[in-house]
Amino acid sequence: MVEDDSFPGQFKKLEDRIEELIQTCRDLQQTESELEDKIYTLEGALRTKVAAEQEYVEEKSMVRSKIDDLLGRLDQVLGSK
């Protein structure tokens, strides 16, 4: 009888396969942890960019308002002559 066909041989194959699966699970857990860290980092960067964009929009609106006000005042001065 070939050793691989014997009970001890089959048991050894089963142990080896279980060890491979355990290592695969550990590798996947490590990968998951790394990906969660990356997601956290990217979400933080996104929040920062969204806040900066909102600040830019508000600043642009304020500048547009001031320009419109100045143009209105200039029209009043030039129109009154």
Token digits of residue 22: 């355990």
**pLDDT tens digits, 11-55:** 999 999 999 999 999 999 999 999 999 999 999 999 999 999 999
pTM summary value: 0.62
Distance CA 7, CA 14 (A): 10
Q: Are 4 and 10 in contact (CB under 8 A)?
A: yes
**Radius of gyration (Cα) for the chain, nearest Å?**
34
Sorting pLDDT into bands at 50, 70 and 90, what band is 2? very low
pLDDT score of 46: 98
